[in-house]
Chain A
Amino acid sequence: MRRCRGICDPEAPLTTPGLPLSGEETTDRLLHRQPPPPDKGGLGGLNYCTDTFVAIHPDPTMSYQFDFTFVPDYAGMLAQGVAYTVGLTVVGGTLGIGIGIAGAISRLWNVRPFGELYRYYVELFRNTPFLVQLFLIFFGLPSLGIKLEAWQAAILAMVLNLGAYSTEIIRAGLQATPRGQLEAADSLAFTRWQIFLHVMLRPALRKVWPALSSQVVITMLGSSVCSQISTEELTFVANFIQSRNFRAFETYFLTTGMYFALALLIRQAMHFIGRYLIVRRPSR
Chain B
Amino acid sequence: MMSFSLWDIVRNLLIGGALTLLLSLVAFVLGGATGLLVLLARIGKWRAPRALAQMHIELFQGTPLLLQLFTLFFGLSLFGLDVPAWLAAGLGLTLFTSAFLAEIWRGCVEAVPRGQWEASSCLAMTYWEQMRHVILPQAMRLSIAPTVGFAVQVVKGTAVTSIIGFAELTKTGSMIANATYQPFLVYSLVALGYFILCYPLSHYAQSLERKLHAAR
- List residues of chain A with CB under 8 Å of any chain B CB: 1, 15, 17-21, 26-31, 54, 56-58, 60, 64, 123-124, 126-133, 135-136, 139-144, 217, 221-225, 227-228, 235, 238, 248-249, 252-253, 255-256, 259-260, 263-264
Contacts and interface: CB of A to CB of B under 8 A. Distances in A.
B123 to A, nearest CB: 36
Interface string B178-212: 11001110011011001100110010000000000
A141 B187 CA distance: 10
Interface of B: 59, 62-68, 70-71, 73-75, 77-78, 80-82, 84-85, 152, 156-160, 162-167, 170-171, 173-175, 177-179, 182-184, 187-188, 190-191, 194-195, 198-199, 202
Contacts of B195: 124, 127-128
Contacts of A248: 70, 74
B191 A28 contact: no
Nearest to B69: A252
Given A221-B63, A255-B67, A58 B80 contact: yes
A146 B19 CA distance: 32
A227 B156 CA distance: 18
A15 B199 contact: no
Contact of A252 (B65, B71, B199): B71
B84 A27 contact: yes
8 contacts: A30-B163, A123-B199, A135-B174, A136-B188, A140-B183, A252-B70, A260-B59, A263-B62
Given A127-B152, A140-B183, A28 B163 contact: yes
A253 B69 CA distance: 11
Given A31-B165, A56-B77, A259-B64, A132 B85 contact: no
B50 to A, nearest CB: 20
B64 A17 contact: no
